[in-house]
Structure 1
Amino acid sequence: MPRIPGVSTKEAGPLLRAMYRFARRRYGAVPEPLTVSAHHLPLTLAGGGHELAVEKASKVLPANVRELAVYRVAQRLGCSWCVDFGTMLQKHEGLDIERLRQIDDYATSPAYTARERMAIAYADAMSASPVTVTDEQVAELRAEFGDKGVIELTYHIALENQRARFNSALDITDQGFTSGDACRVPVPADAGATVRTRSASG
């Protein structure tokens, strides 16, 4: 259970209920980070609008490159919710999720292309404390993806750092999106309940 329980449908006002309905239609369940952040509705609206705008604007990088970099951040930072949700998104994109088991060996694994390796290594460098990105690394990325591509990649990696750290701080863990279990309990039944049902890997 998260450190701050999610806002239940019963407690939600009309606008929040509409957001829950939209999320349920899109993902099959209401994401738990949404129900937790809903305690601060203005920030929830700002965050939701931002996520939709980023999604619409991100058309430069191939989906596999972008999604692998984002997944790597979630994995490195230990955000099980992000790993669960990100795996589902990759599956819906038609990407190979079986190779995610080999991501720790991305530098040598034949499951990853050279472009994907560059993006994953950049995600590692950006997510380190302190950041370990080098001039040479950015130069290689610029040569491969262009300036717009590097900006898009950097933005998504930074955004996933924000998501993963938010979820980890509030102990929001995997919800069962990958296993399909998340839709069993889409929103909290009451103020003390949780939206989460554990995935098989959780």
Structure 2
Amino acid sequence: MPRIPAVTTADAGVVGRLIYRVAARRYGTVPEPLAVARHHRGVFWASLVSELGYERASRRLPAHLRELAVYRVATLVDCSWCVDFGTMLQRLDGLDVERLTQIDSYATNPLFTPDERLVLAYADAMTALPITVTDAQVAELAAVLGRAGLVELTTQIALENMRARSNSALGIIDQGFDAACQVRASRD
């Protein structure tokens, strides 16, 4: 249970109930971060609009690279909700979620391509405190992904750091989305 309880459907208001219904239809249930954010209408709307905007804008980077980087951040920050949700999204996109159990060895594991290794190392460097991104990393990624792809990757990694840290601070844990719990359990 989160440190701040989710706003129930009955208490979400007319518009909140509509958004909950749309979210439940899309994901199978109302994502708990959404229901917790409902306590603050301004933050609720800002996060909803920004998430939809970033989702629609993120089209330059191949989806598998974006989702892999976001998943990596979730594992580094140890946000079980993000790992759970991210695994579901990857499975729904038809990606190989079983190899996620090997993500900690990505640098040497043949399951990961050279481009995936670059992206994952960048996610590690952006998530490290202090940030350890180098000019060489940025130049190599720009050569592989293009400038627009690199900007998108950087934005997605930064967003996931925000989401994962917010969820962790609020005590929001995995909801059992799809096969995510099985993947997480095999990582531990």
| TM-score normalised according to structure 2 size | 0.95
Alignment partner, residue 3 of structure 2: 3
Q: How much does 1:179 deviate?
A: 3.8
Aligned length: 184
Q: Deviations over 1:134-178 (max 9, x none)?
A: 000101001111110100000000000000000000110000002
Q: How much does 1:41 deviate?
A: 1.3
Contact 2:87 2:179 in 1 (8 A): no
One-letter amino acid of the counterpart of residue 144, structure 1: V
The question of 1:94 aligning with 2:94 is answered: yes
Residue aligned with 2:48, SS: helix
One-letter amino acid of the counterpart of residue 145, structure 2: F
One-letter amino acid of the counterpart of residue 176, structure 1: G
Alignment partner, residue 150 of structure 1: 150
Q: Deviations over 1:5-38 (max 9, x none)?
A: 0000111110100110010010000000011110
Alignment partner, residue 41 of structure 2: 41
Residue aligned with 2:86, SS: helix
Q: Which has the higher contact order (CA 8 A, sep 6+)?
A: 1
Alignment partner, residue 119 of structure 1: 119
Once the two structures are overlaid, the 10-residue window that deviates more, 153-162 or 44-53, is: 44-53
- Consecutive unaligned residues of structure 2, counting only runs of 5 or more, are none
Alignment partner, residue 172 of structure 2: 172
Alignment partner, residue 57 of structure 1: 57
Alignment partner, residue 141 of structure 2: 141
CA 1:64–1:179: 2 relative to 1, 3 Å: closer
| TM-score normalised according to structure 1 size | 0.89
* Distance across 2 between alignment mates of 1:119 and 1:179: 24
* Distance across 2 between alignment mates of 1:101 and 1:9: 35
* Distance across 1 between alignment mates of 2:59 and 2:2: 34
Higher-helix-fraction structure:
2
Q: Please report the RMSD computed on the Cα atoms of aligned residues, expressed in angstroms.
A: 1.2
Q: Deviations over 1:93-132 (max 9, x none)?
A: 0000000011011011111111100000000000000000
- Consecutive unaligned residues of structure 1, counting only runs of 5 or more, are 181-198
Once the two structures are overlaid, the 10-residue window that deviates more, 155-164 or 56-65, is: 56-65
Identity across matched positions, percent: 60
